[in-house]
Structure 1
Amino acid sequence: MRGWLRGLAVLAGLCGLAGPQASAAQGAAQDPARAAAKPFVFTGIPDQDESRLVERFGRVATYLEGKLGVPVRYIPVKNYPAAVTAFTNGQVQLAWFGGFTGVQARRAVPHSQAIAQGAEDAAFKTYFIANAAAGLGKGVDFPKGIAGKTFTFGSRASTSGRLMPEYFIRQAFPGRTPEQVFERVGFSGDHSRTIQLVQSGAFAVGALDYAVWELDVKAGKVDPKAVSVIWESPTFPDYQWTVRGDVDAAYGAGFTEKLRAALVGIADPAILEPFGRSKFIPVTNAAYDPLIEVGRSTGLLD
């Protein structure tokens, strides 16, 4: 265990397929055998704006259908707890979870497995960002100057936008909760929204997924004169693909390993780039044990 590690819910509305239908249903309709097969359904936590999610997961659905030989459908959800509940209830068989939501889902569904993560997820980071008017510069050490300012997390169940930032805040200000450290605490709901709120000055400081920051910078959505990164956190395990333990019984022996191989085999930049990942690599549940400890230490996990 690294030294720094020592020291969520009724479904909020499982939406129908969004906008341009995010599935590979057309291919199934053209193949009677495939159309007769039980659809394999997946979801992902809504950590970015909806249009980006539909693009990202629609491409994954098309790719997986070609590899798995069954109809594959992506179903969007409204928030992080809804993704966990959809997985728990068996409404989806696979989910792209954050580290913390993955822990929650696997604890609720026996024998479920984390099977693949982004290469970057083994050593993920949180960025603390600040509005220029806050007068905070970038430094190596935790920015204790954020105390007394307004602060926004991302989703309440986000790993890089809530769990780990809260852990670091509590470590920097022993015995104090975020509500005691800051003038006002908010929850933006997703990482892109965190950037928007801090950039606009609605909040002076925020914490978010570093990969979303980089994607939004690349997309020209960040005004460097208005908002900047003031601290990069130590690394921690984060996002992963988690599959239910009953998929082999439903889709045939070896299906889980076939799915893992398909995910790890993704090489198309058009699929990887919307994730902000260079590739996917195999992973196991044990990689996320540190987050269980952090969740308990912050009171966010029983």
Structure 2
Amino acid sequence: MIPRLFAALLLTALPLAAAAQDTLYFSAIPDEDETRLAERFGAVAEYLSEELDVPVQFVPVKSYPAAVTAFRNDQVQLAWFGGLSGVQARLLVDGARAIAQGDEDTSFVSYFIAHTDTGLERSDDFPDAARGMSFTFGAKTSTSGRLMPEYGIRENTGEAPEEFFSRVGFSGDHSQTLRLVASGAWQVGALNFTVYDQAVADGAPEIETAKVIWQTPPYPDYNWTIRGDVDARWGEGFADRVQAALIGMDDPDLLAAFPRNAFIAAENDDYAPIEQVARELDLLE
């Protein structure tokens, strides 16, 4: 009788013990369509859960600032940030550190694209002929969709975007920038090169009317950033285990969803150039 009672109590306690185990929550800047993000990061959550032996859950957010806020408030402990949002998050959370980046993120670029009706052609030189046209960035705090394109405009023209272009807007994300320029709603726009290249690989119809006309010089961009208190919660060396799991991610389907060829180690100092430019443009508090 006693053994049966003990067994029953044990079985009852198991779900409680599992529920009590801390879940690692992570998020990502919403740089593309929400459906695509959910597919990408749902699979990543499963992979990390298996590698780390802890529950892992993806938490979607609606904006770049929301991703930073969730990280600051400990609603997520790990995040896939852009260069600027990563800098913002690490400045807000003591001990937070960049732990991984895509192999491509050491030398990232932004594309300037234009509707074919503008007559603008691809060149190594900044497109001065775009003066007076309409222009859209991506999200307001996007590294590849706003920060570095704006820096490129100012460096090459000596003017603010609002002075060089007739009208300036923010589409919200890279996919939307491509759609809006392709439709002619905006004549010129700036976006993440991987999003455009993926559209080319997919044979997306937008590439028929939205063509690359210029690209920025390279800069460091996306990164996985983790809070500084995760070792206290999940055990000594947990942050290093997460880093190893990300760097060890070699499933082509997982990597293609980013898209990245591989993840490599990263550290905060890698993003010093991004912080410097953000301060020059007054985009950091």
Aligned to 1:172: 156
2:86 maps to 1:92: no
Q: Distance in 2 between matches of 1:36 and 1:108?
A: 28
Higher share of residues assigned helix: 2
Among 117, 123, 129, the alignment partner of 1:139 is 123
Matches within 5 A, 1:160-199: 160-174=144-158, 176-199=159-182
* Distance in 1, Cα, partners of 2:133 & 2:65: 28
1:17-51 Cα offsets, whole Å, 9 max, x none, are: xxxxxxxxxxxxx9875443110000000000011
Q: Which residue of 2 aligns with 1:25?
A: none
2:49 equivalent among 18, 42, 65: 65
Residues 1:42 and 2:26 are matched in the alignment: yes
Alignment check: 8 A CA contact 1:34 1:71 kept: no
Distance 1:270 1:39 in 2: 24
Partner of 1:156 in structure 2?
Answer: 140
Hey, what's the Cα distance between the residues in 2 that align with 1:93 and 1:116? 14
- Between the aligned partners of 1:167 and 1:294, the Cα distance in structure 2 is 7
Residue matched to 1:209: 192
State which drifts further: 216-225 or 201-210: 216-225
**2: CA distance, partners of 1:125 / 1:251:** 36
Partner of 2:175, secondary structure, is helix
Measured after TM superposition, the shift of residue 69 of structure 1 is: 0.9
Give me the whole-angstrom Cα distance separating, in 1, the residues matched to 2:74 and 2:238: 17
**How far is the alpha carbon of 1:220 from its aligned partner?**
2.6
The residue number in structure 2 matching 1:56 is: 40
Aligned sequence identity (%): 53
Cα contact 2:179–2:206 (8 A) shared by 1:
no
Across the aligned residues of Structure 1 and Structure 2, the Cα RMSD in angstroms comes to 1.3
1:294 is matched with 277
1:34–1:70 contact (8 Å) kept in structure 2: no
The residue type paired with residue 296 of structure 1 is R
1:124 paired residue number: 108
1 CA distance for matches of 2:91 and 2:143?
16
- 2:86 matched to which residue of 1? 102
Alpha-carbon separation, structure 2, partners of 1:223 and 1:195: 7
Amino acid at match of 2:122: K
Q: Distance in 2 between matches of 1:243 and 1:49?
A: 24
Measure how far apart 1:217 and its partner are. Answer: 2.1
Deviations 1:92-116, CA, capped at 9 Å, x for gaps = 0000000000000000111100000
Q: Which runs of 5+ in 1 are unaligned?
A: 1-29
The aligned counterpart of 1:17 is none
Contact preservation (8 Å) 2:64, 2:142 = yes
SS of the equivalent of 1:223 reads helix
2:65 is paired with a residue whose SS is helix
1:277 is aligned, of 251, 256, 260, to: 260
Q: Superposed, which structure 2 residues align to 1:230-249 within 5 Å?
A: 230-249=213-232
Aligned residue in 1 for 2:67: 83
What's the counterpart of residue 203 of structure 2?
Answer: 220
For structure 2, the 5+ residue unaligned runs are: 1-13
Q: How has the CA–CA distance of structure 1 residues 236 and 192 changed in structure 2, closer, same or farther, with 3 Å as cutoff?
A: same
3-state SS of paired residue (2:185): coil
TM-score (norm 2): 0.93
In 2, are the aligned partners of 1:35 and 1:71 still within 8 Å (CA)?
Answer: no
- Contact 2:24 2:77 (C-alpha < 8 Å) held by counterparts: yes
User: Structure 1 residue 67: deviation in Å?
Assistant: 0.7
Other structure's SS at 2:212 match: strand
Question: What does residue range 22-37 of structure 1 map to in structure 2 within 5 Å?
Answer: 34-37=18-21
Q: Aligned pair 1:111/2:70, yes or no?
A: no
Which residue identity does 1:250 align to in structure 2?
R
